[in-house]
Chain A
C-alpha cells in the first residue's frame, strides 16, 4: 500500500522539505570566504594596546618609539580618532530614565575595564603592529574598581562613571495587581535566590573587520563579520559623516554570530576611523584572548523570586527581583537593558496566573559590557520559573509533569496575554507536554531512576517549559528611537535564461537562511531549487532590512521572499498570457514551464518568456513593459511578536563523590509554526541546546577582586565539546502564525532558552535524596559538592 499523497508530492514543493543547504558544499571544501580570509591590495593591519586596569585615569601616553618603528604607519590614541568620529550613547527612549556615558572608539582620559583598547597601531603586518605596542608607554593612575554586583549597588560605593549619580543604569517595575493578596491566601509560598554567571558567545571565528576608505571616491567599504550589515552601514555613515549611499558593508561567510556580532565594538569603530585617516584598507581580527576581554558577555544576573501556590498546586502569583550587572557602559545601539527587561517579562510566561510583580535593577561595574546573546534573557527567565515550579510541585506533592499540566495556559485559551503584557496568538503547551512525556518514555525513566538509586547511582530527570520571542516588530527597538529595522526587503529577478536570483536583506551565518529562501522562492514560483540563486550580506546589492537577529530570518525574511516571489510570478504570467493569448488566471508555472492551470499541460518555458521580454520586446503588444525584476518589503503587523513555545527534558547522572555531572540524553519538543526545512530546524535546535548546556555546566567568565578576567582563553574557559554532549531527541508541533501567508515563526533560540533550566531541575532531582539544592548556574562540580556538604 502506498502512502497518501501530501503537499510535498507536488512538483517544486519545497516548503517543509529537508533539503541540504546549497552553500554548504563550498564550506566543506575549505572554500569559505570569511572576513578573516580577506586580503586587499595595500592593506594594513591594526592592533590595540589594552588597559591592564579595570579602572584608571590615563595620565600620559608616549608613542614616540612605536611611531619610529619601521613598518608602522599610524599610532592613534583617543583624541586622534575623536577628530573624525562622533560619540555614541547606548540608551533607548522607551526605557525611561536609562543612563549611559557617551562612548568613543578609544578613551580620552579614563579606562573602565581591564582589556579596553587604549591605543591603536596600524602597520604592515599584525606582528609589526604588536611589536610596536610593546614600545608604547602609558601612565595610569589606578582608580577604585567596582567588581562585585552587590558592592556596585551599595550607596557610597565608588562610581563606575564619576559623573553619574550612582551605579544604576536603569530601574523598572511591573505590577499586574493582587500580588500581596495572593501570597496572603496561598497554601504554599516558595522563595529562592538564584545566581547566573557571566558567559560569552565564543564564536569560533573571532570578530573581524576590514575597513577600506577611498578618499577620492568619498566611499567607505567595510568587510565586516556581522549579522546586521544595514545597521552598520547606518552607524558608519552617521558617526563618520559619510553619505549613507557611499557606505557599503559586506558580510560574506560569517563564522558564527549568535548576537555577538551585531553590537558596536570600540575596535571595529576605530578601524573605520584608522582607514579614513590613512586612506588605505585596514584589517583587524581579534585574537582569542582579545575576544574574551572585549566581546560582549551576557547573563550576569541575581534573581530573588517568590511564588504563591494553592493547596492543589495552582500558581496564584509570582514576585521577582532581578539585579543584573552590565559592565561599564550600555552597548550601542541595542542597549544592555534588553536582557533584564526580557527576564522580568518572560518569567512565568507559559503559565496561567494573574498576579505578577517584578522589579529590575541594571547596574554598572568595571567589566566589559554585557548585551544580547542568543535567546536574550530566556535562559534566566526559564531557569527561575521552572525551578520555582519544581519546588512548588515538591511542596504540594505533585510530579513535575502534573504540576505543569495543571498550570500551563490551555491550548484552547488563545488569544491571550501574559500578566506582563505579552500578547500570545496561539501556543501549544498542553500538546507539547504530552509529546515530551511520550518521547522521554517518562514512566520508564522514573522506574530506572528509582532502581538505580537503590544501587547508589544518582540520576535526575528535569523538564522545562519555555516561551520564545520571535519575529519582532518595530515595538522592539524602533519605538526606542534605534535605527534598527524590523522590516526586510527582497529584489527578485527572472534572468534572461529563465533562472531566478533573489537578493534579500536577511543574512546567513550558517543557520541556512539562503537555503530556506531558495526553497520558498522555488516553491512559490514553480521552479527547481537549483535554478534559484540567493544573494545576502551586501548592502550595495540587497535592499535595506533588519537582517538576522531575534529569530526573524524565516518568519520575516521568509515572508518577504514569499511575497516577492508571488509578485514576480504574477508578472511572468501576465507576459505569458499576452504571448499565449490567454487569461493569466488560466496559467500556472510548474518546473519552469508555464502550464495550463487546469490541465497542467505545458504551454511555454519561462526561459522563453524571459528571452522574448529581454531581447524581443518588439514582439510584445504596444505599451507592454515587462517587469521581470520586482522588489518587495515586508514588515510584521498584527501581533508585536510571534511567540513560540516548547518543552525540554533531560536525563543526567550526578557522581556524588566527585560532583561531576554526565548528560545522558536530552529531549526537545518545539513549535515554531510552519517548518520550512525540518533538517535545518533540528540542527538549529540541537546547536541551541548545546549552547544552553554549556551555560548550565561549564561556562563562566570569572573575575578577580581587581576586575581582571581570570579565564580568558579556551584552555581556561570551558565550552561544550563532543565528548560531554548527549544525543538530542527532537519532536515538533506546528502551530503556524496567522499573521503571515507563510506561517513561520523562529526556532533559533528555542534550544538555548530552556536547556540550562532543564539541567538545573535534573541535577536537583538527582540530589533530592540528599536534601541538597543548587540554584546557581553554571553547576560546577565544586558547587555540587558544596551543596552536598562535601566541599
Chain B
C-alpha cells in the first residue's frame, strides 16, 4: 500500500504557457489541471464545482479550445498553452463580454462566471451570431444556481450583435 502512495506523490515536471508566460510546475501524477492551476499557480479564478465535467466551473482554454480542467491531469497538459480567466481578463479578449455581464447583472455569486465567460468566448469564436436557442444549447454544460440563465443569454446575444455590427462597420470603413 505505502509504495503505491509514494508513487502517487512522486513529482513530475510539467511545462506550460499559462496566460502567455512560460511556467514550470512540479505536480503529482494524480493532480488534475484545475488542482495545478489553483494550488501551484494560485490562479483561483478557475473553480472546481463538480469535479466530473458536469458543471463547467473549471473551464479553461487549452491551445485555444475550452476544456474542463477537472477532467484532465496536469501532466496531460504538458507543453500546452493554457489561458485562464485571469489571462483572458488581462489581455482584454473578453472585455466586451465582461462589461455586458456587468451591465445586465448576468452573475450573482460569481462562482460559475469564469466558466460561463470562457464558454461564451468559445461560442462566439465559432458562431458569429448564434440564436438564443443556440446560446442556451452551448451553455447547457454550465450550471448556474443563481441567475436563472436569462440575463446570461441576453448578455451573450448582445455582445454577438455588437461584434457583428462592429465588424460590418470596419469592413465598410476599409472599403471606402
Contacts and interface: CB of A to CB of B under 8 A. Distances in A.
Chain B binds chain A: yes
Given A27-B113, A28-B98, A721 B141 contact: yes
A722 B8 contact: no
A127 B111 contact: no
B50 A29 contact: no
B74 interface: no
A312 B107 CA distance: 47
A288 B49 contact: yes
Contact of B102 (A25, A287, A722): A25
B107 A27 contact: yes
Given A255-B47, A288-B49, A127 B145 contact: no
Contacts of A206: 49
B152 A722 contact: yes
Nearest to B118: A30
Contact of B149 (A36, A127, A201, A725): A725
Contact of A683 (B49, B136, B148): B148
B5 A723 contact: no
B140 A723 contact: yes
Nearest to A23: B110
B65 to A, nearest CB: 19
B3 to A, nearest CB: 12
A69 B3 CA distance: 11
Interface string B21-41: 000000010110000001100
Contact of B89 (A30, A128, A683, A714): A30
Interface stretch (A380-388, A466-474, A686-694, A765-773): A686-694
B110 A24 contact: yes
A204 B139 contact: no
B107 A510 contact: yes
B52 A36 contact: no
Q: How large is the interface on A (under 10, 10 to 19, 20 to 34, 35 or more residues)?
A: 35 or more
Contact of B5 (A29, A39, A131, A683): A131
Interface in A51-106: 65, 69
A21 interface: yes
Contact of A32 (B51, B105, B111): B111
Given A37-B38, A722-B140, A28 B146 contact: no
A275 interface: no
B55 interface: yes
A683 B108 contact: yes
Contacts of B139: 721-723
B109 A510 contact: yes
A206 B45 CA distance: 15
Contacts of A722: 135-137, 139-140, 142, 144, 149, 152-153
B9 A128 contact: yes
A578 to B, nearest CB: 42
Given A288-B50, A715-B54, A721 B140 contact: yes
Interface residues of B, number: 61
The binding surface of chain A is classed by DSSP as loop
The secondary-structure label for the interface of chain B is loop
A139 to B, nearest CB: 19
A518 to B, nearest CB: 15
B1 interface: yes
Contacts of A287: 51
A719 interface: yes
Contacts of A689: 148
A683 B44 contact: no
Contacts of A690: 147-149
B105 A29 contact: no
A758 B8 CA distance: 52
A318 B1 CA distance: 64
A512 B102 CA distance: 12
Nearest to B117: A28
Given A29-B45, A510-B146, A719-B145, A256 B102 contact: no
Interface string A623-644: 0000000000000000000000
B18 to A, nearest CB: 13
Interface in A191-206: 201-206
A298 to B, nearest CB: 14
A435 to B, nearest CB: 20
B101 interface: yes
Contact of B101 (A28, A134, A288): A28
Given A24-B107, A28-B102, 10 more contacts: A20-B105, A36-B47, A127-B28, A203-B109, A287-B51, A511-B108, A687-B108, A722-B142, A722-B153, A725-B136
In order of increasing CB-CB distance, the 7 nearest A-B pairs are: A30-B45, A27-B110, A510-B109, A255-B111, A30-B85, A686-B148, A510-B108
21 contacts: A21-B105, A24-B102, A27-B107, A27-B109, A28-B110, A29-B86, A30-B89, A32-B45, A34-B47, A39-B39, A127-B30, A204-B57, A205-B111, A509-B108, A510-B107, A512-B105, A683-B147, A714-B50, A722-B139, A723-B137, A727-B150
